[in-house]
Amino acid sequence: MATATQFFAKPWVRWAIIGLVVVLMIVLPLILPAFANQTLARIGVFAVAVLGLNVVMGYTGQVSLGQIFFVGVGAYVTAYGVNNDWNIALVFILAVLIPGVIGLLIALAAARLGGLAIAMVTIALPLIGVPLAKRLSEFTGGSQGSSARFSAAPEWTGLYDDQWQLYIVIAIAGIVFLLTRNLVHGKYGRAFAIVKGNEAVASSMGISPYRYKVLAFTIASLIGGVSGFLYMVVVQYTSPETMSFGHSITLLASMVIGGAGSILGSLLGGAYYVLAPQLTNAVDSSLTAVLQGVILLVILFVLPGGLVSLPRLWRRRKNEHRGMPAGGAGSAQAATATIAPTAPAYVVPDTSAPEPIPPTQSQEKRQDT
């Protein structure tokens, strides 16, 4: 394993893997069947939404239950713009900026509040958003929703629609993921981490918790807007149901299942968001809700750190098997080292993004008392 880690840490190996991923992204849409392409595109859409949630919640520690609202606003702006024949670049910019501005305004007030109060203010967004979308039927088409077809493949490409849409999603989502990765691994990421860890310490270091909370929330809204635009690219239809409270909660669950505070976890979260209902529907449609609940609980019971912590868990098991000490400094090392093989394209060993503390130790202690 150690040799494998060293192998993956070599620069040329990383570049080779990045290259491989890029080639796969270009080739796969051409050879996969249409249904797989559509599913992948939807995963991309919701991975971006989860990524936005991760910025505000996973990295900055502010519980947001309203992320889906920004996705919905982005989708509605896109639909409205397309139906009024605006330039598509302008539509994209507006679909990102308008949710961002709304997010900024809400954050300016909500970030004054601590802890759960932010959760309660953001819980209101989808709850008010749905009836409001029905009410403002001039812009939104009321309960009927509104559809916009603009993502058909152009003639010159010779592609099918689903391939073209997947390429758009891959390109935009890829850029957003890359930008976010750079953001959270840099100066801002460290500031977010300390705001999450301890606001008093943050203030004493000259980092205003208020300012960084507003920043994180605004970035999350912007990314939500991007996700909304992509949603329209893929689904081509939006209704008030898009931003319902249930979806917002599922988005939150997806983030934690994928892995809070992790770029790769966002991708896994998006996959969970799309695949879990498909899977449970395929098993037995009358048991969908039961199975989803069970899957959610089982994943968290086995992996409280989310799917992204699977390699770490595996590694620790292996160490215990060999009789090596697990946990403590060793497990922290393992944490940074073992993610690398699975996420060479994104993860740099970096202390600024704190991994969730391996919970087993405290639990063992707890069971004794």
Partner 1 sequence: MGTFIQLVIDGLSAGSIYAALALAIVLVNQATGLINFAQGGMAVLAAYFAYSFIQWGVPLILAILLSILVSFVLGALIERFLMRRFEQGDPDTAVVVTIGLLTLITGLCGWIWSFNNLQFPSLFPVQNVNILGAVVSIRSIGTTLVIVGIMILLQLLFIGTKLGLALRAVAVNPQSAAFSGLPVGRLLMVGWGLAAGLGAIAGALIAPSQTLTPGMMDAALVYALAAVILGGMSSPIGVVLAAWMIGVLENLAAVYVPFIGYDLKIAVPFILIFIVLIVRPQGLFGRKEVVRV
Q: Which residues bind partner 1 (CB under 8 A)?
A: 57, 63, 109, 112-114, 116-117, 119-121, 123-124, 127-128, 131-132, 134-135, 198, 200-201, 245, 249, 252-253, 256-257, 260, 286-294, 296-297, 300-301, 304-305, 356-357, 359, 362-363, 366-367, 369
**How far apart are CB 174 and partner 1 at their closest, in Å?**
27
Cβ proximity to partner 1, 24 vs 128, nearer residue = 128
- Identify residue 102 by its one-letter amino acid code: I
Joined tokens for residue 57 = 């919640």
Please state the three-class secondary structure of 135-184 as a single string. HCHHHHCHHHCEECCCCCCCHHHCCCHHHHHHHHHHHHHHHHHHHHHHHH
The least CB distance from residue 288 to partner 1, in Å, is: 7
Cβ contact 104:214 at 8 Å: yes
Cα separation, 228 vs 226, in Å, equals 5
When the beta carbons of 40 and 276 are compared against partner 1, the nearer one is: 276
- Smallest distance from partner 1 to CB 38, Å: 25
- Minimum Å distance from CB 297 to partner 1? 5
Closer of 242 and 280 to partner 1 (Cβ): 280
Q: Which is nearer to partner 1, 32 or 296 (CB)?
A: 296
**C-alpha 70: how far from chain center:** 13
- Closest to partner 1 by CB, 107 vs 232, is 107
Which parts of the chain fold into alpha helices (H)?
2-9, 11-31, 34-53, 67-83, 88-110, 116-135, 137-140, 161-184, 187-197, 199-204, 209-235, 245-258, 263-283, 288-302, 310-322, 328-342, 360-368
Beta bridge partners, 143, equal none
Of 19 and 359, the one with the shorter C-beta distance to partner 1 is 359
Whole-angstrom Cα distance, residue 295 to residue 315?
23
Nearest approach, Cβ of residue 33 and partner 1 (Å):
31
State the minimum distance, in angstroms, from the CB of residue 42 to partner 1.
20
- The nearest distance, CB 124 to partner 1, in angstroms, is 4
The CA–CA distances, whole Å, from 194 to 118, 177, 351 equal 18, 22, 11
